[in-house]
Amino acid sequence: MSSSIEVFIQTLLLFLLLPSSICQLPLDALTPDRPIRDGDILVSNKQIFALGFFSPGNSLHRYAGVWYNKIPEKTIVWVANRDNPVNDSYGVLSINGDGGLVIHGKDPSTPLWSANVCLSSPNNFTAKLLDTGNLVLLENSGERVVWEGFDYPSDTQLPFMKIGLNRRSRLEKHLTSWKSKDDPGTGSCTCGIDPIGVPQFFLRKGREALWRAGPWTGHKFSGTVGNYNSSIVNNEDEISFVYFVAGDSVISRMVIDESGILQGFVWNDQWIKFYYYPTGWCDSYGQCGPNTNCDPDKDYKLACTCLPGFESKSPSLSLGEGGCIRKVEASTCQDGEGFVKVASVKIPDSSTARVNMSMSLELCRQKCLIDCSCTAYMSVEDRGGGIRCVTWHGDLMDVRTFSDGQDLYVRVDATSLAQYAKSGGSLSKKAWLAISLGSVTVFIVLLTLYWLVKMKMKGKRRQNKNSFELIAGSTYFEEVTGGLAFDDSRINSELLLFHLNTVATATNNFSIENKLGEGGFGSVYKGILYDGKEIAVKRLSKFSGQGVEEFKNEVLLIAKVQHRNLVKILGCCFEDEEKILVYEYLPKKSLDSFIFNETRRALLSWTRRFEIILGIARGLLYLHEDSRLRIIHRDLKASNVLLDNSLNAKIADFGMARIFRGEQTEANTNRVVGTYGYMSPEYAMEGLYSIKSDVYSFGVLLLEIITGKKNAGSYEKYPYSNLIGHVWELWKEGRAVEIIDSSIGESYPVSEIIRCIQIALLCVQEFATDRPTMSVVVSMLSNDSALPSPRRPAFLLKTMSPSGDPSSNKRVCSVNDVTCTIVEAR
C-alpha cells in the first residue's frame, strides 16, 4: 500500500513540476478567475471554432480573435482588439471587476480593449464561444446574453450573424475590411444595410458607394445572383439580414477585403470562392450616371444607354460622364404622358423611393401617373413576399440589365410614348420615321465628333496602330501563321482580342490578391470574366527592357498549337501600351509547387507522378514532331508545367520558344537567357539549341519529379555537384534507389522508377547526338524494352561566388563570343 502511495505522490509532483505549456488544455469557458492568456485557447462545444491570441501575416503584434479550429489554414473570422494590439506576448483576455471583457498586456491597469459592459455582480458571469463562432458573455444560468461578439463584426459574416441596425439601441452591425493582410485594424471599406428609404445592401469605400444590392425581393437582394437560405427582418425593433447553412458540415463565410470586394467562400479541402461583388463593369455603383441603363452583355464602350424619355447629357455617355437628362421641351405633367417598360433590370437606388406594401401594380401606376414628380414605378413583389409598390421621384440611379431582375416602368412624354408604342410587335410608321430622322442627325453629329477626336488623338492612335503592326504587319508573322490576322474582335476564329477594361475588371485591376506569380517578363494574375469563367492573365511589364519578342512568340505559337498537354490560350490584349495574354486557369498551379513542397509532394503518388511525366513527354513530342510547326520550347522547367484539377500536366510559357522550318535541326543565338540547371551545355556555352535541348531539360525535370529535389541543390558527398551529378554517382555505384523521394511511400514499383532514372540519364548525356528524341522517350516510357546504358551526363559543376558561396544563384560566362546570363529562376 505504501508503495502505491509513493507512486501516486511522485506522479503528482511530476505533474505539478511540468512546464505550464505542456499542461495547457483547451478551455471551455472564461470566468473571472480563469482568464485566457497568450498561448491559451477557448474552443466551442463541438470544437468548430477557437479563440485565442494570434499575429496576422508578417505582423509582430498580438490580437485576440476567433478562427476555425479544424481547418489547417488559419482563417480569422472575428477580432476583438483590432485597433489596439498587444505589443508583446503577455496579452490577457479576462472578465474584469465591472463584469466586462477586457484585454491588457503586461500592465493590467491599462486595458487595451473593453467590451463596454458594466455588471453589478461580475462573479456571476462567464464567457463562452458558441459553435456559430459567436463569443458571448452569459449570466451564470446561461439564460441571458449580456454581450456578444456578433454585435461587433470584423470583416467576416458567418451563418446566423446579423448584419443591420438595432433601431432601439441604434447599434449598427456592418462588416469593415482589414487595413491589410498584416493589419486587422479598421479599414476604409464597409458593407452593410442602409436603412434609409427602402433598405438596401451597400458596399462602400469611405463615403463612396462601390456596389449596391437591393431592395429585398422576398428571397434575396435585387441585383444578386442565386438563391440562398437567407432572410431579412424589418420591423420597429430592427432591420437585419442573416443567412443560414444546413448543419455543421457546410463551412461558409462572407468577407469584405481591403480593396472593396465582397466575396463568399465555402470550404472543400480549400477555400472556394462561389460569388463576389462587384462582378463586372456594370456592377460598379452608378457606372453610367443617372437615368441610364448599363447592359453587361455589351462592350463597355456601348454598355450605357439612356432610359426611355431621356437623352445623353454629354457625348461620352459610354464612359458614364454626366449620365442622361429629361429630353429638352418634353412635357411629362398632365400632357398625354405615360410609361414605358424596361424589362429585367436591377431595381434603381431606392434610398429616396416611396413604398406602399398593399397597393397593386395597377394602382401603383395610377398613383405615379397623377403625381407629376413621379419618374418611375415598379412592383418588387417576388415569391416569399416583397414590396408591392415602389415609386421614384427624382433621378434613377444604378440601373442595369439583369437576367433575374424586375420590370421598371419609366415616365415618358407623349412623343416618346408614341415612339415606343408597339404595333404587331414593331414600331409604328411615324415612330420609324422619327427614329430614322433622329438617327441621321445623331449620325452626322457623331461623325463630326469622331473626326475632331481623331485629329486630336492622331499621335496616340498611330502609336497603338504600331503596336498591332509589331506582330501583325511583319513578314515573319505571315510566314509563321499562314496569314493569321487581327481585326476588331478576334484573331482568327479561336483567339479573342480582349479589351483592357475587361481584363482589368476580371483581375480586380491587377490587384496583389489576384497575383499568381511573377516571371522575368511580367506578372500572372487570376481573373474571373463576366460569365464566371476563370482565367489566368499574363501581363508584360511596361518597364522591362526585354520580353517584346518573347511575348510576340507566345501569341503566334500557342495560338497555332492545341494539345491536351499544352496550356490553352484564350486571347490577348493590345491597348494603352499594354501587352497581355489570357489563358485557361489551372487551379492546381505549377508542378514545382508540389514536388518542391515538403507537404504537398506527398499528395503525388508514383502513379500520379508517372502520368505527369508521360503527359510532359507527349506535349514535347507534339511540339517537336506532331504539330504543323516544329517548335523548340527552350524553357522547360517545373514552374512552366501547370496542373489541372485532375493533375494532368500542361506545358506553359512559350515566350522563349522558337520555330524550325523545313528540315532545320538546330539554330544558334548570341542571346542566351534561361534557367540555370535546365539548360543543355551546348545551349548554355555555345548558343546552340535544337530539339535535343528540350530533351535535356526533360531529363532534368524527370529526375526532379522522381527525387523531389531541385537540380541546383548541393549534396553532402559531392558539394560542387548538382542533382544530375549526384544521381550519376549513385547510378554508377548501383545505389540509384537511394535518391527516390521518400514521400512516395514504401509501396511502389522499384523497377519502373529505376527505368525512369535510366531514361532521364539518357536524356542528359553530354553530347546532343547521344540523347534520344522525344518519340523514342515516349516509346521507352510506354513499354519494357531493353534500354541502352547512359554515358557520362553533362552536369555543370557549381562555381564559387566571390564570397565563397557555391549556391550563388547567378552565373555569367562568355564562350565563343556568346554571352549568357544564367539565372536560377525567372
Calculate the alpha carbon distances from 99 to 126, 147, 259 in Å.
Answer: 9, 11, 38
Residue 538 known to bind ligand: yes
Give residue 116's region: left, alpha or beta (phi > 0; psi -120 to 50): left
Write out the DSSP string of 246-288.
SSTT--EEEEE-TTS-EEEEEESSSEEEEEEES-SGGGSTTTT
Calculate the alpha carbon distances from 203 to 94, 238, 596 in Å.
Answer: 35, 20, 41
DSSP summary character for residue 799: P
DSSP summary character for residue 563: -
Known catalytic residue at 269: no
Burial of 483 (0-12, 13-18, 19+ CB in 10 A): exposed
Taking the C-alpha atoms of residue 126 and residue 263, their distance in angstroms, rounded to an integer, is 34
Do you know the residue count of the chain?
826
- Residues 283, 635, 653, 741: which is the catalytic one? 635
Q: How far is CA 411 from the centre of its chain?
A: 42
Write out the DSSP string of 34-90.
B-EEBTBEEE-TTSSEEEEEE--TT---BEEEEEESS-SS--EEEESSTTS-BSSS-
Write out the DSSP string of 133-182.
S-EEEEETTS--EEEEGGGS--SEE-TT--EEEETTT--EE-EEEEEETT
Taking the C-alpha atoms of residue 779 and residue 764, their distance in angstroms, rounded to an integer, is 17
**Strand locations in 303-379, DSSP E?**
304-306, 310-312, 324-326, 338-345, 354-356, 376-378
Q: How large is the angle between the packed helices 458-472 and 429-456, nearest 10 degrees?
A: 90
Which is it for the CA torsion 666, 671, 674, 678, positive or negative?
A: positive
Note the maximum CA span of the chain. 114
Question: Under DSSP, is residue 16 helix (H, G, I), strand (E, B) or coil?
Answer: helix
Q: Which residues are annotated as a binding site?
A: 538
Active site residues: 635
Q: Which residues are annotated as a binding site for ATP?
A: 538
